[in-house]
A = this chain, B = another copy of it.
């Protein structure tokens, strides 16, 4: 326990302003959030403490650190975390902070190491975080309590999740159990990173998430619209007339997909529990428009080398949404992961990673630009939407507006978020 002290031993928390506490308690369902949730630095700090430091976060893929000694560093608000694979191939997550005078130990985004050596005074740690050596110490120097502080980490079917809390939410196991059979056939542990792109959007992280949770705005995504059914996210009972033909096409494609899934033993059922659980998520296998194979103008596969042992490319997309900050599209020929990292009240990092089969050869099995095209363009378009939303809600004239039925997942995200803040206040009314 000495290496993971309770919060009370850390720097003191700022007290929560009464105005803000009131807004959290009074949040009105069915409408966008009040402006301070998108604009206030106080809320930004609160989101780090109550959301990002207390819940499971998608951090990286196993494919990013394939070999012993491979590491990535991840910055989440003021935290810096090392994900490193040790010699027996287990992944450790460690705070990137030397226990001597606090220097950051690893200063690159990724790389490969033997031990973890601080560049300042050469304190040396093993990949599991224990302090192996510190020079110039008195005879009675005790290294044991001075290991790098650990971060909880879990690997699920090739996806790496971390939790910064001392007591991570236990319901992670329910999610892991449920999503594993959906993911495993895609064998993400046998993929490689074809590309990774970081995009900084000029808006609050929640606007980035809200934008991802609806396709009401998808007219603004010409490339994505080729492969995504425009009915995505709608309550069928509420479908506008203009979308009925698309819905017919969708129903036929869905029937075909269900037959193919039955044939190949792939689960496809929708599971959605986005509001109440600490680890809240949605998973479903859905048909793609066009040829129905992948994110391309005509819907045909972009990588000839399919994932895992697939022979059938027309398997639609396995899509997964996680609260607070990730979503995934897993196809027969490649997978794309997205994680959202707050940088400031009005700046957010969106990291996109494209995975292909570890044996796929660029330029032969797939064209890199074609692989990236749809989501590279879509991310840029979303960045513009998010920036305009940030600018607008920053006006004192902004008032929360009503969500349409096809924005029910946006409401689910906001409800989950408001619940998490309310729980934080309940746990510690005076101070968060």
Contact = CB atoms under 8 A, between A and B. Distances in A.
Contacts of A121: 216-217, 404
Contact of A397 (B14, B35, B95, B392): B95
B240 A401 contact: no
A23 B19 contact: no
A104 interface: yes
Contact of A5 (B36, B216, B399): B399
Given A78-B395, A392-B96, A395-B78, A406 B122 contact: no
A179 to B, nearest CB: 29
Contacts of A80: 391-392, 395
A341 to B, nearest CB: 15
A102 B23 CA distance: 18
A411 to B, nearest CB: 11
A242 to B, nearest CB: 8
A120 interface: yes
A389 B138 CA distance: 23
A415 to B, nearest CB: 16
Given A19-B12, A120-B217, A104 B396 contact: no
A137 B404 contact: yes
Contact of A392 (B5, B98, B136, B403): B98
Given A12-B22, A146-B402, 13 more contacts: A10-B399, A11-B34, A11-B396, A32-B102, A78-B395, A80-B391, A101-B389, A101-B401, A101-B403, A120-B220, A136-B234, A136-B405, A138-B404
Contacts of A403: 101
A46 B149 CA distance: 31
Contacts of A12: 19-20, 22-23, 36
A223 interface: no
A210 interface: yes
A388 B136 contact: no
Contacts of A22: 12
Could you tell me the dominant secondary structure of chain A's interface residues?
loop
A36 B11 contact: yes
Most buried by B among A13, A396, A401, A406: A396
A371 B79 CA distance: 41
Interface in A11-36: 11-14, 19-20, 22-23, 32, 34-36
Nearest to A393: B102
A102 B240 contact: no
Interface residues of A, number: 69
Contacts of A79: 395-397
Nearest to A48: B396
A394 interface: yes
A82 B406 CA distance: 29
Contacts of A103: 385, 388-389, 391-392
A104 B137 contact: no
A401 B10 contact: no
A219 interface: yes
Given A136-B238, A136-B404, A397 B11 contact: no
Interface string A181-209: 00000000000000000000000000000
B97 A398 contact: yes
Contacts of A304: none
A135 interface: yes
A43 to B, nearest CB: 11
